[in-house]
Structure 1
Amino acid sequence: MNSIFFVDEERYRQGVEKIVSDAHEQYEKICYISFNDPHHIVVKMLTQVLPDSEKFIVVDASKTRKDVHEVEKGTFLVDTANIFNVYVFLKDLIMKEEVDALFLDSASALIVKHNHLPLKEMMETMLLDVGAHGCDTMTLAFKEHSGHEVLQHISTLMGRSMFI
C-alpha cells in the first residue's frame, strides 16, 4: 500500500522515527531514500532508534554527486543531478534486493530542491512501478506542502494519508 505521512516541520524527526520503527516491525527489507539528510545522519538515527537496523538499505540523495556508489554495505550515495537516474537506480535496487517497502524522505525536499522537474509525473511513475514489484511506499512531507500540486496529484495513488 502507498501511504503519505504529513508532519509539522518541528516534529519532523519524531515523525521519521515513528515511520522507521513501524516499518521495521512490518517489513523484511526497507529502502530508506533521503533527499534531506546525508547517509551518516540517517544511519546514526536508525541505529539509535532500532535494535537491528540490518533490514534497511540507505540511499543518500541529499546532494549532487559525480556517480552512484556503495560507501558501505547497504548504504549508497546517488547523484541527484539527473533525478531520472535516481529513479532507475531505485527500481533496480528494489528488484535486486527484494525490497518490500520504500521510505521516501521527503516529498517536501523534492518539491523544494527539484521544483523545476516534472515531479508529478516522476512520482506517479515511481509509485506505480514500485508497486508493480510488490513494494509498498511510505512518503513523508511537511504539512505545509499538503496542498502542493505534486502531492495532490499523487494522493489518488495513496491508500492512506495521515497527519502525524
Structure 2
Amino acid sequence: MGSPVGSTDNINTQSVAEDLRYAETHRTLIIDRVFLILVKIIETLQKTAATQSDRLKIYTEWQKAYTDKMDQIPAFTASNDAYNDVITGADDDDAKGARDDLNKTNSTFTEQIRGRRSVVSDDAKSLQTNVNQSSDAVNQQTNMATSLLQQLSTILGSIFK
C-alpha cells in the first residue's frame, strides 16, 4: 500500500504539468492568432501597394501614348514634299498661308495634347506618392508586428508560468 501523501504528490505533479501544457498551448494559440491577423493586415497593405503600382504603369503608358501622338503631328514647310500634296493648285502666297494655318492648327493640337499629358503626369506623381506611402506602411506594420509579437510572447510567458 502506498501512502496517501505519495499519491497526492503524484496527483499534484500531474495537475501542475497538465496546467503548464494547457497554459503553453493557449499562449501559443494566442500568439498564432495575433500573428495570423497581422499577416493578413500586411498582405492587404502589400496588395494595395501592388495595385497602385499596376495603376502607375497605366499612367506611364498613357503619357507615352500622348508623347507618341505629338511625335506624329507634322510640320508643314515648303520643302516638305511629303505634305505638299495637301496644298495643291495654290500659288506661293496661298500655299504659304495654308501651311501657316495648318501649322497653327497643329500647334494648338500639340498644346492640347501636352496639357493632357501634363495632367496625367501630375496624377502619376500623386499616385507615386501614394505607392511610396503604402510601401512605407507595409514596412512600418511589419516592424510593428515583429515588435508586438515579441512583447506578446514575453507577456504571455509571464502570465502562463
Give your verdict on TM over 0.5: no
Say which one has the larger Rg. Answer: 2
Looking at secondary structure, tell me which structure has more strand per residue.
1
Question: Which of structures 1 and 2 has the larger relative contact order (alpha carbons within 8 angstroms, sep 6+)?
Answer: 2
Normalised by the length of structure 1, the TM-score is: 0.17
Looking at secondary structure, tell me which structure has more helix per residue.
2
Normalised by the length of structure 2, the TM-score is: 0.17
